[in-house]
Amino acid sequence: MKVRFWGVRGSIASPGPHTVRFGGNTTCIEIRTDDNELIILDAGTGIFPLSQTLLAEMPVTAHVLITHSHWDHIQGLPFFVPNFIAGNTLRIFGGVDPVSGKGIEQVMSVQLQYSYFPVREEEMKARIDYVNLMPGQPVRIGSATVTPCLLNHPVVNLGYRIDCHGKSVFFTGDHEPPYNIYEPGDEGYADYQALVDAKQQAILDAVRGVDVYIADSAYTDAEYASKKGWGHGTFGSSIAGAHAAGAKVLFCTHHEPTRGDDALQAAFAQALADHSAITCGLDVRLAREGETYEF
């Protein structure tokens, strides 16, 4: 299986001289199975350069797994070049919005309104299909089994476990480890803690034993205090989660857009030092745009 990172920044694209080493595009990850089936995790701005490489292997069948509908995870979809070429197929997978009741089809219909984009979906020449997913219910994509897992973010966010020929990847999208909204001693604290513990255990079980764990690591532990509830993890929470689940390799991603490459490396080094007691046997890396990992 092959993993290639096309976008590793969170929230907003951040091109410029201070992000050239790790990259400024927002979230997009290419997965290739051993049978060369194409699975794409999220469709941030990184999906545009990815799509240009696909022109050499048409006709293309691309399976795009959307974790959630925030802009930095979907804004590249209208610029997916194969959409404009007959004979290609784009299959978009994702969850249902419990507020609107609409499925994953809305990620395109909203963006392709004339107010925001000059080309309507009906004018695109590729076939575009939509597949709504439910947490815990696996689907087959060629030789791969994809299992969605409900994670913790201000909107419905599905993490994805991909299993294929004995190899596995888990991607969180945006995820903040669940926490108790009550203070110790409050009337609802114990009952809510039971829910938090159950949710955390379900997430760990979904990640258990993966070869590659790609996790939202937007903040340092020190920054998190002022960001609590924003829906993102830390370097520390990602390392702890990977350790608890027995993952083999951890890629920290969704890099804070205001953090340049030097500051990013410094924050990562500090996190490794702070959590050295649980990193033994765990390969921890910073996700880098353009990097390929094959296993």
Half-sphere exposure of 220 (CA within 13 A, CB side): 16
Q: Are 38 and 3 in contact (CB under 8 A)?
A: no
Cα–chain-centroid distance for residue 134? Answer: 17
CATH class of 2-294: alpha beta
Domain extents in the chain? 2-294
Cα–chain-centroid distance for residue 113? Answer: 25
Q: Print pLDDT tens along the chain (295 aa).
A: 999 999 999 999 999 999 999 999 999 999 999 999 999 999 999 999 999 999 999 999 999 999 999 999 999 999 999 999 999 999 999 999 888 889 999 999 999 999 999 999 999 999 999 999 999 999 999 999 999 999 999 999 999 999 999 999 999 999 999 999 999 999 999 999 999 999 999 999 999 999 999 999 999 999 999 999 999 999 999 999 999 999 999 999 999 999 999 999 999 999 999 999 999 999 999 999 999 999 9
pTM of this structure? 0.97
Q: How far are the Cα atoms of 168, 195, 204, 221, 252 from residue 228, in angstroms, in the given order? A: 30, 18, 21, 11, 19
Helix (H) and strand (E) counts for the chain?
7, 14
Q: At CA 102, angle to CA 78 and CA 79, rounded to 5? A: 5
